Amino acid sequence: MHFRKFKANNIFTGKEFLGAEMVLITDNEGLIIDITNTKDAGDNIENFDGILTPGFINAHCHLELSHMKNIVPPGTGLVQFVQQVMTKRSASDEEKLDAMQKAEQELYQTGTVAVGDICNTADSISTKQKSNIYWHNFVEVSGFVDAMAGKRLEDAKSILEKFQKTNSKKQKSTLSPHAPYSVSKTLFQQLNNETIDQLITIHNQECGAEEELYKNKTGGFLELYKNFGIDISGFQPTGKSSLQSFLPYFTNKQSIISVHNTFTKADDINFMNTKEQELFFCVCINANKYIEQTIPPFNLLRSGGHAIVIGTDSYASNRQLNIVEEIKTIQKETNIPLQEILTWATSNGAKALRITNNFGSFEKGKKPGVVLIDNVSGSLTTDGSTARRII
Ligand SMILES: [Zn+2]
């Protein structure tokens, strides 16, 4: 067997830093063999300037929107953003495929090894079949008119079937609700029955208007429904936040990746702590800055005891699909230690996507990818930090 031996200014295991004196040993394919002291590692050690980390897990992306770079301008707010994505997402098949392939390459080269990816169409199947990344496809279900719930579920299930035909060790697919403002009561109930014991995701509390809708049936979304001719006369406000309104629908041991959480409040965290569901908070800081010019309440999210994970969202609301750029922005905007943020990006992400058997940490027998973050200053990323895949 041929070994590779890696040493750097620091090694991050997926949970902790080991310092500069340890050597990571893998086989030629990147299977983790051992982590050992330099004096026991023998010769042919490859030295790197920076931090070595397991490959990143991008817990929220929309590969199929990769052609939408620079289409929606920054700072519109979510309601405008959603309307623009809905009306401007069409493009030629060739254009879409080309953009998805480039995005997949970018994800791979910048150290992402697994992606939780939202799918409204089957467009991304061929790109994913050729990909060396692990994909969890969340086939998205939406429909705010209650009478249409059955039809909307059937449509999504036919897309799910197409993805499931390509299932392999590198792909898994489940249904997921789009967002509290786009899924009706009956559709939530049906989804609960379709996703027993499964991993699902939902866009949650991405803007203040979501709260206004659920509390008082007021706010920006009413305009959106009007513009699209969506009859919301059947919608009853719950008087509660959107999170507290939708979470009780899921009673079948689902684990849930709640994405964005930009407007999540302390009483939501308290509410969640009364529930038994396994919940992950996914933060997409660059997308939040792009759309809403705001950032998630990190300290509040950290206080709840639920694991945090990181996503890029799509090219419609981000300038790159590069986890290290998310990490850099989080470090710049907060004083959260790099060790904690890297845990979100690696072992927490693997736990959320249910792939800890192979990903998220440098443990013997796993093949998590080896990624170098360079231009670091101690345990701080700098503007110049980049990430690249070593193996
Ligand atoms: Zn999204």
User: May I ask the CATH architecture of the domain 56-359?
Assistant: Alpha-Beta Barrel (3.20)
Domain at 1-54+360-391, CATH from 3.40.50.10300, 1.20.120.330, 2.30.40.10, 2.40.110.10: 2.30.40.10
| H or E element at residue 352 | helix 349-352
pLDDT interval class at 320 (50, 70, 90)? very high
pLDDT at 5: 98
Q: Dump pLDDT digits (tens) for 341-368.
A: 999 999 999 999 999 999 999 999 999 9
- pLDDT greater than 80 at residue 1: no
Q: Tell me the CA–centroid distance for residue 336 and ligand 1, in Å.
A: 24
Q: Tell me the CA–centroid distance for residue 41 and ligand 1, in Å.
A: 44
Q: Dump pLDDT digits (tens) for 364-383.
A: 999 999 999 999 999 999 99
Domain ranges for the chain: 1-54+360-391, 56-359
Q: Dump pLDDT digits (tens) for 212-247.
A: 999 999 999 999 999 999 999 999 999 999 999 999
Q: How many of the other CB atoms lie within 10 Å of CB of 212?
A: 17
Q: Tell me the CA–centroid distance for residue 288 and ligand 1, in Å.
A: 10
- pLDDT greater than 90 at residue 178: yes
Q: Tell me the CA–centroid distance for residue 284 and ligand 1, in Å.
A: 9
Q: Tell me the CA–centroid distance for residue 11 and ligand 1, in Å.
A: 31
User: To the nearest whole number, what is the mean pLDDT of the chain?
Assistant: 96
> What's the CA angle centered on 352, arms 346 and 355, to 5 degrees?
75
Residues with CB under 5 A from ligand 1 (ion): 313
Which pairing describes strands 370-373 and 387-389: parallel, antiparallel, or unpaired? antiparallel
The CA-to-CA distance between both ends of the chain, in Å, stands at 16
Q: Tell me the CA–centroid distance for residue 314 and ligand 1, in Å.
A: 7
Distances (CA, A) of 284 to 33, 114, 258, 312, 325: 33, 16, 11, 5, 11
pLDDT at 274: 87
pLDDT at 166: 84
Exposed (0-12), middle (13-18) or buried (19+): which is 305, by Cβ within 10 Å?
Answer: exposed
DSSP, collapsed to helix, strand or coil, labels residue 37 as strand
- pLDDT greater than 90 at residue 47: yes
